[in-house]
Structure formats: C-alpha cells, structure tokens
Chain A
Amino acid sequence: MPERIILCIGTRKGLFVAESSASRRRFTLRGPFGPGVSVYSVLIDTRDTPRLYASSCNAFFGMKVLRSTDLGKSFGETQSAPVFPKDDGRALANIWSLEAGDGTEDLWCGVEPASLFRSQDGGDSWEMVSGISNHPHARQWQPGAGGLCLHTIVRDGDRVHLGISTGGHYLSEDGGRSFSASNQGVGAGFVPDPYPEFGQCVHKIARARNAPGRLYIQNHGGWDDRPGIGVLRSDDHGHTWRSIAEGLPSDFGFPIVVHPHNADMVYVMPLEPMTRTCPGGAPAVWRSEDGGGSWQPLTRGLPEKDSYFTVQRDAMTIDELASPALYFGTTTGQLWIGRDSGQQWSRLFTSLPPIHCVKVAVV
C-alpha cells in the first residue's frame, strides 16, 4: 500500500482525522469523533499495526481515551482512562499527553493535575507512575493558565523528559522510576528567583532524534525584565539549558518543533505575550537553521495582517517525508500546511472548531 499521511486534529468539539496520499495535495476530512468533547492529546502509534489514541476530555462525565484500529475511520473507548488511587485525594481533570512506550502496547499519559500514568495493555488499564506523580515537589507545583498539567513526555532510551506547567523540566535516567528537576538555565518571570530549582512554566519540549543529547524548550517568555528565557537549547540531555531567543520578535510562544532529519533546524511560533496572538496581526513561523544561532521568518502564503490567533502547545507538528511539511492549527479553527519545510504555506481547512493539537504520521 502506498504511503499515506494521517493527520489528527484535536479540537474543542472532538477529533478530526484528515488523510492524504504522500503528495499532500489534497486531504479528506472525517469526524468529529467523540463529538462535542475537547481533545487535548493524540498519539498516532506506528509501532505495529497503526493505532490512533486520543483523549476525550468530557467536562460532564469525566475523561475517556479513544482508540482506533482502522486509521481513524472509527473509534471506541478503551476499557478505562487513568484514574488516581482512591486515597490519593486528587481527581483527574484533563489528559494532556499520550506517548508510545516500549514494546507495542506500552503507553504513557500525562494528565492534569500534573501526574504521569502508564499502560501496558494499549490503554485498557493504567497505573500511576509514582516517581513523578508523588514527587516531593508535586504538591508545590502551581497551575498555569491552562491548569496544572503534565503536557510533554519525551522518551530517549532510559531517559524520560517531562514538561510540567508550572513545574518545569523533570528528567529520569532510569526509565521513569525516579525523576529530578533539571532546570539549570530555565528561567521564570513570575517568581522572585529568576532561576528557581523548579516551578518554571515550560510550554513544550522537543528532542532532536539525530543529535544525541540535543533538546529544545519553548518556555514561558515575554518578560521585559528577564529577556531571552523563552527559547532554550540543551546539548547534554537536558542537564543544562541556554537561551537561543536572540533574533526572535518575541520569546513567548507555545509549540517548538524540530526538523526530523536536521537537528539544527528548529521552528517556533512567536506570539505577542500579552494577547498571546500573532505579533502585529501577522502570523509567522520562525525557523533556525543553525540550532538557534539565528532565526528567519517563514511567511509566504500566510496572512500579512489582521490575524490574531493562538497556536497552542501541541498544535504544530512536522511530518517525516524526505522534504517534510509543517502543520499548525489555530484557535480560530484554521489548519495550515507549510510545504517544503515551511517555505510555502496554504490552508487545508478554514473553519474547524478551535484547535488544541495536531499530530501527523506517515503510514
């Protein structure tokens, strides 16, 4: 079967699945699945026969995990969603991240209030990961505007990087059994100490798979008196971080994406920090081709004015074809594709519900 592009779009009103041939000329849309219910996280699991997972964050009746085994033509609920132990005192408020683990059935799930769960049976049962969920810092983390969420899980062999807002970056080097705050160089603008041990409002973490130890963070920047803390790079597996924000129009933003074949090519979507929308009403994805040493805007095809949307933390992604395309979804329901690594933008869909997350895979 020729390669297909599967694009999953989590929105405030359910999950949409778009499909295209590898040419990416035309995408057909299906959905909404889990209609009327917010979808904050999606996993396109290509480890075996492809499966799609999505969180269905039902404000009325609680959280569900949806699963599809037919590339998003239909979805059913897994047998259970993550749930805190009865004597824990916390109650699940949202599901923010789903990631593949080892083997073919192992899944990781980050939730609000910030905690981590793991399934070893494809999402039918879940167990809380105590090393981070009951970390001594856990009861001191504070919610950001989006809630107290564990939104990013990045796995790298026995290393597991977690992004918590507001908790910061936590690192495990023993497969997820124990975690330590690892925020040297990660700043915060909302507490007296500019570089606290933990409590930063990390927005997203991305790993460059073909450069060992290289990671990037989009942190909560936009602080006049603490400039440059918003976009960061690590070359030592997240033990230390340094600013790479010089040259950007704003160091505030939510997503950060790394090119799948070039560790030095990294993308951000700068936002004006007060409104959290496109600076000057002119959206632009900014790309660095030298690991954050310099930045250039990618605007061809994007509106030149009057566009005031937000791109949320999981709403920008990149596919893995030889000449990859970027995709971002907006809070105004537009889904954009940036062909030729973001050189040329066009709208795939114009009027979806507000978009929370966008994931893509070649299957």
Chain B
Amino acid sequence: MTVTVSVPAPLRTCCGGAAELSVSAATVRDVLDQLERSYPSLYRSVCDETGAVRRHVNLFVNTAHVRDREGLETGLEPGDIVTILPAVSGG
C-alpha cells in the first residue's frame, strides 16, 4: 500500500529537496527499510548504524507518535502519513 512520508525541512537535502515521498510499506519499519534503500542519507539522519531511531527524532503515523502505537511495527493503512520530526530538545 502507498503511504506518504513527510520530510522536515532540515532533511530535504537528503532527498532532492522533496517535502513528501510516496512509499509502499505495510509498517513503519518497512518505511525505514525503503528509505535506507532509496535515500540512504535520509535514513542515516533518522536512524543510527544499529538501526535505532535517533534519540531526538520522532516518528508519527498521522497524529500518533509511534511509541504510543506499536513502535516500528505499527501497521499502516493506504493514505497514512508518516511524519519525521526533530524533537523539542536542545539548549
């Protein structure tokens, strides 16, 4: 099924300037696998080399944070929007 990945402004240079990407995926993990294959620089900005989502990056499915669903195993429906956002943190 096709879902949309919303890319935050600081990471758009990793995917040719695109703000949104169309991806065929059944789970959030599938989305990340697709990104790793098609946009490795974008993937590396979201996940570290162990495959873990970086501490200060949040992933949402529509309006729900994946940690409040089933994490990376959260299932997707056609037309869902997976949003990548930097966390509100820093100093």
Contact = CB atoms under 8 A, between A and B. Distances in A.
Nearest to B84: A61
Nearest to B85: A60
Contacts of A136: none
B78 interface: no
Contacts of B63: none
Interface stretch (B17-25, B43-51, B64-72): B43-51
B89 A59 contact: yes
A86 interface: yes
Contacts of A83: 44, 49
B49 A60 contact: no
Is chain B's binding surface mostly helix, strand, loop or mixed? Answer: loop
Contacts of A302: none
Contacts of A88: 49
A147 interface: no
Contacts of A90: 49-50
A42 to B, nearest CB: 22
A89 B51 CA distance: 9
Interface of B: 10-11, 44-46, 48-52, 54-57, 86-87, 89-90
Interface string A79-98: 00001111011111000000
A interface, size bucket: 10 to 19
Secondary structure dominating the interface of A = loop
A92 B89 contact: no
B50 A61 contact: no
Contact of B49 (A59, A61, A86): A86
Interface of A: 59-62, 83-86, 88-92
A60 B48 contact: no
B36 to A, nearest CB: 11
A86 B46 CA distance: 15
A59 B90 contact: yes
B54 A61 contact: yes
Contacts of B87: 60
Contacts of A86: 49-51
Given A83-B44, A92-B49, 4 more contacts: A59-B55, A61-B57, A91-B50, A92-B48
Nearest to B52: A91
B9 to A, nearest CB: 12
A86 B89 CA distance: 27
Contacts of B46: 61
Nearest to A59: B56
A341 B90 CA distance: 38
A88 B87 CA distance: 27
A86 B52 CA distance: 11
Most buried by B among A61, A62, A88: A61
A16 to B, nearest CB: 19
Nearest to B44: A62
